[in-house]
Structure 1
Amino acid sequence: MFDVVDVVPDSDAWLDERRASVGASEVAAVMGLSPYSTALDIYKSKSGIDREFDPLLSFVGHASEPIIAEWVEKFSGVQVTLEPAFMARSIEYPFLHASFDRLSSDPFTTWQFKTAHFYTGHKWDEGIPTDVRVQVQAEMLVAGTQRAAVVVWIGGREFKLFWEQRDNVFIEDHMIPALTKFWVDLQAGIAPQASTVAEISEAWHDSGDEMEAPEELQQRIEQRAFLLATAKEAEEDAKKIQVELGQFMLDHNVEVFTVGGKKLLTYKRQAGRASFDQKRLREERPDVAAEYTTQGAPFMVMRTIKPKETKK
């Protein structure tokens, strides 16, 4: 079902192995289901261009694994002995690999450990987040298992254990086709389409050309303008509610609303931002202004041009 890849985590050999196939933790990005990475990010990584890597996050992740494993064995209520895990490459789909956090026997089961900040722990309230579920489904595909365990350590004090059942429909109808296409395109040097504004900006090249907008894009342009206008109206409505809430708090001389003893809303004065009068400096000390002025990088701006009304 899989071959064991004998490499030391975070070593050069480990990095080379990761470049040679898609990792289970990268599958959600390839499928457009990750809030953190895109298919183009993964494409660049496999091509040797990695995003900035935070070694502290890696350290915290690895350092937390023994603590989570001990919680599982002592406090989770599951009678299980966890064993060290490894990197494995699928034999049937050699473009896919997985790095399990722990393993258990009878039956053979993979374990995935996660940590979450106190302020992001709510993402686990309804179960395993989508991107992690996709990762675990990919791990089950590599391991050939029917069930996997996921444990999250939230805010350094709360643990949650989830069991994820294998979803063959998702794997066969969606995951495998997406991964196969991505890998075939990668070998052919065909990059995924941009999926963020930042990626569009990076790929942009100025042409100055014009063309008649296709009818279907005219509808999308109108839809975008409508959404922007709606967002602006919603912001104005939110300000009206803020006035209503603020007046009530002012009348009752309170700064904090609570529910069940927990903070729900605060309204407090903050120190004003310090500002710098660039115009005055340019007028009074143009030499100093020129010396300390740097030109920012160009950025993309999309504007909808409203037709001018014809005067009668």
Structure 2
Amino acid sequence: MAFATYRPQVLVDTKGLAEKEWLEWRRKGVGGSDASIILGISPFATARDLYYDKLNIVSYKDDAGNWVALQIGHLLEDLVAEIFHKKTGYPIYQDKRMYCHPLYPYMLANVDYFVTLPSGETAILEIKTTNYNAKDHWWIDGEETIPVNYEAQGRHYMAVMNLNHVFYCCLYGNNEDDVIIRHIERDRAYEEELIALEGIFWNEHVLKQVPPPYTEDGDLVIQSVRRHIGTADPDAPAVELSLPLASCVIRFTELQAQKKLADAQSKKIESEMKRLQGRIVAEMGKSCTAVCSAGGEAYTVTYNPVRKPGVSKDNLIRLQAQHPDIYKDYVTVSESRRFYVKKSQKNLAA
């Protein structure tokens, strides 16, 4: 692929654009936050989720359940950018326009901020917020890193905007020193693969309305399926699985048997640990802490109470019977489904 000099094209001016209109423009292509989903490295969604979102069938974003974090990120964006400016001394500015790649117009960019470097080059600044516990995602084995989904986002923007640098500034506390600043440069090999995969997603799936296959982590796939199909129907007819999926069933039962053996060993270990715990707890009595020395090492044992409010099953039944209005207003019913594989009786008799 030849990386010629080019300028991104303005798709729409987003200043004053209503959120609904902005989302409609986002559906005209692939944005930076979509890149990790297409690459299969997003912790939040599958390519199938993104496909349904682009066709405006159903959104995978849980804005209602995550509205506080979203609001915090939005409200603190300018503050975090100002912290970056103060820490680095680099001038920053905003460009309230959505851009697209001139050669691949489905590749879109809506950049948080731009940075003017001392060399005169323009760089991209991505603003992030997180909590104190999640800041460890910015290190691996003590080495500075960037979460892979954020890296994909930055590299997507570099491709669209034809720029060579991305900075990240992530605030995880309540003062200016509680920030993480990272920098990456353009990687042409990564970019070439990214452009190819985004092209396949857009041209072969979205435009042709062919859902992409599920290839992601099992939990993500199960969450995705639940979003799209809704609640279970006990009266629905049995589904005849294709040969490839029948092979999956066979492999699942093999792993199930292996897990059963491993669980038996695990239960034996847990039983021994529980026996030892019982002897220690009996010695501690009402105390929450114990200390000892053995084998040249010092140990501290804690056995602290954990108290949390709850409603017993009997009280829940009583509440439903005596105060149905309150029960209806405050008790929610969630659905879970149990996945189980066994050999059919006809096979066992054969």
Given the two structures, how large is their TM-score scaled by the length of structure 2?
A: 0.70
- The aligned counterpart of 1:261 is none
**Deviation readout 1:28-53 (Å, 9 max, x if unpaired):** 11222111122122112211222442
CA contact (8 A) 2:249 2:341 kept: no
- The aligned counterpart of 1:163 is 183
Q: Which amino acid aligns with 1:218?
A: I
- The aligned counterpart of 1:14 is 22
Deviation at 1:244, TM superposition (A): 5.3
CA contact (8 A) 2:31 2:107 kept: yes
SS at match of 1:277: helix
Of 123, 132, 138 in structure 2, the residue corresponding to residue 124 of structure 1 is 138
Q: Once structures 1 and 2 are overlaid, which stretch shifts more, 23-32 or 202-211?
A: 202-211
Relative to structure 1, the CA distance from residue 218 to residue 168 in structure 2 (aligned partners, 3 Å threshold; closer, same or farther) is same
SS at match of 1:180: helix
- 1:14-33 pair list within 5 angstroms: 14-33=22-41
Are 1:197 and 2:222 counterparts? yes
- The aligned counterpart of 2:160 is 142
Are 1:302 and 2:310 counterparts? no
Are 1:183 and 2:215 counterparts? no
Relative to structure 1, the CA distance from residue 224 to residue 94 in structure 2 (aligned partners, 3 Å threshold; closer, same or farther) is farther
SS at match of 2:313: coil
Q: Which amino acid aligns with 1:137?
A: R
What number of residue pairs does the alignment pair up? Answer: 296
Deviation at 1:83, TM superposition (A): 0.9
- 1:47-58 pair list within 5 angstroms: 47-48=55-56, 49-50=58-59, 51-54=61-64, 55-58=67-70
CA contact (8 A) 2:114 2:124 kept: yes
Q: Once structures 1 and 2 are overlaid, which stretch shifts more, 55-64 or 201-210?
A: 201-210
Counterpart-to-counterpart distance in 2, 1:265 and 1:229: 31
- The aligned counterpart of 2:83 is 71
Deviation at 1:235, TM superposition (A): 7.3
SS at match of 1:36: coil
SS at match of 2:169: strand
Counterpart-to-counterpart distance in 2, 1:265 and 1:19: 55
Of 102, 110, 124 in structure 1, the residue corresponding to residue 113 of structure 2 is 102
CA contact (8 A) 1:25 1:98 kept: no
Q: Once structures 1 and 2 are overlaid, which stretch shifts more, 181-190 or 47-56?
A: 47-56
Unmatched segments (≥5 aa) in structure 1: 258-263
Q: Which amino acid aligns with 2:255?
A: Q
Are 1:2 and 2:8 counterparts? yes
- The aligned counterpart of 2:314 is 277
Percent identity of paired positions between Structure 1 and Structure 2: 18
Q: Which amino acid aligns with 1:190?
A: V
Deviation at 1:151, TM superposition (A): 1.0
Q: Which amino acid aligns with 1:116?
A: T
Counterpart-to-counterpart distance in 1, 2:290 and 2:137: 25
Deviation at 1:140, TM superposition (A): 0.8
Relative to structure 1, the CA distance from residue 107 to residue 45 in structure 2 (aligned partners, 3 Å threshold; closer, same or farther) is same
Counterpart-to-counterpart distance in 1, 2:188 and 2:274: 49
**Deviation readout 1:158-214 (Å, 9 max, x if unpaired):** 1111011222212212x1222111112111111123451133454488432556775
CA RMSD of aligned residues (A): 3.9
Given the two structures, how large is their TM-score scaled by the length of structure 1?
A: 0.77
Are 1:85 and 2:95 counterparts? yes
- The aligned counterpart of 2:254 is 222
Counterpart-to-counterpart distance in 1, 2:239 and 2:134: 45
Counterpart-to-counterpart distance in 2, 1:295 and 1:121: 33
CA contact (8 A) 1:246 1:267 kept: no
